[in-house]
């Protein structure tokens, strides 16, 4: 099973930026898709952003235009650049990878945005 490790969370003021990283234990090109998720009311986790193995991206409406998902295949790492952060973005952010042979989740990294 793939091991995923998030980093880059922290405390930032509203309007600030953070970049999250998700390092995988194996070649990320083998996954059908990877993504970032966070808890939401009434849901276990909501999609924040996803990227497919061909580079197609998808974003939640609440983050579109502020967040950018990307990946570096040579480093087996996925990123989430978060700009213009808002207090409602405060959450634990989880990375996930999905493939034909299974899926994996990281332990999460805390992002706190102060007003």
CB-based contact 37:16 (threshold 8 Å)? no
Helix (H, G, I), strand (E, B) or coil at 13: strand
Note the pLDDT of residue 71: 96
How far is residue 88's CA from residue 50's CA, in Å, rounded to a whole number? 20
What pLDDT, in 10s, does the model give residues 62-102? Answer: 999 999 999 999 999 999 999 999 999 999 999 999 998 78
What pLDDT, in 10s, does the model give residues 14-66? Answer: 999 999 999 999 889 889 999 999 998 888 899 999 999 999 999 999 999 99
Note the pLDDT of residue 83: 98
Alpha carbon 89 to its chain centroid, in Å, reads 12
- Structure token pair of residue 83: 């700009």
φ/ψ region of 56 (left if φ > 0, alpha if ψ in -120 to 50, else beta) reads beta
């Amino acid at each position: 099973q793939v091991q995923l490790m998030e980093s880059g969370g922290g405390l930032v003021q509203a309007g600030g930026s953070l970049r999250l990283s998700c390092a995988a234990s194996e070649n990320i090109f083998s996954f059908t898709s990877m993504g970032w998720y966070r808890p939401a009311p009434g849901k276990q986790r909501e999609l924040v952003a996803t990227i497919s193995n061909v580079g197609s991206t998808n974003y939640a409406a609440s983050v579109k235009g502020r967040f950018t998902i990307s990946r570096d295949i040579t480093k087996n790492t996925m990123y989430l650049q978060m700009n213009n952060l808002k207090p409602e973005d405060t959450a634990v952010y989880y990375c996930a990878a999905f493939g034909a042979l299974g899926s994996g989740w990281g332990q999460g990294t805390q992002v706190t945005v102060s007003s």
